[in-house]
Structure 1
């Protein structure tokens, strides 16, 4: 019984993902735009809110970040990191379970549309 409880606890901990965890991995999508980070973030943010009403946009020291997660389990599912570059912005999308795109198609579409 102790082993079963231990396995369940490890499985639950392994499932927790923070924005910092996602940013450690390679991005699922990387692009550049001539738009400044604020303009780009404001362009894509409505689609992220449609995807998850709890999506949060925040200003960082290098630009903007949009984070969407699962309210039920506290997971971070998607992070869009928008950083200022010499010619505009560098945009990187990080996703937990990137292979699972059900309901996420509009996120990539909004990025491509706003470039």
Structure 2
């Protein structure tokens, strides 16, 4: 039963943040990066680092969403920060977005992304 409630909650959360993400994607990303690593490995690393309560406290959250176009998105609660990952050759192209790019949490999240490259 807990698994069902968790799955429904994540699905509802994903539906609520998509419009905010689409609006952000109409602008230039806060930072564009690339990695030589495979997309799934980079996505899992980012999700794991963003869930570190020692770094982000109660704001520690990280979710992964894959879409039909092949893009993988790792995002936080309310899509305060998110990163789009797209396979590029044998590596990955990343676009990092933050609602408040100068915010300390957004800067820490960007630094955590950089550790996963």
TM-score by length of 2: 0.69
In the alignment, structure 2 segments of 5+ residues that lack a partner are 1-18
The match for 1:106 among 99, 102, 108 is: 108
Q: How far apart are residue 87 of structure 1 and its match?
A: 3.5
SS, match of residue 77 in structure 2: strand
More helix by share: 2
SS at match of 2:111: helix
Partner of 2:100 in structure 1? 97
Tell me the C-alpha RMSD between the 2 structures. Answer: 1.8
The structure with the larger Rg is 1
Runs of 4+ that moved beyond 4 A: none
Is residue 78 from structure 1 mapped to residue 86 from structure 2 by the alignment?
Answer: no
Which of 63, 69, 77 is equivalent to 1:69? 77
Work out the CA distance in 2 between the residues paired with 1:25 and 1:69: 20
The structure whose residues are more often strand, as a share, is: 1
Aligned length: 93
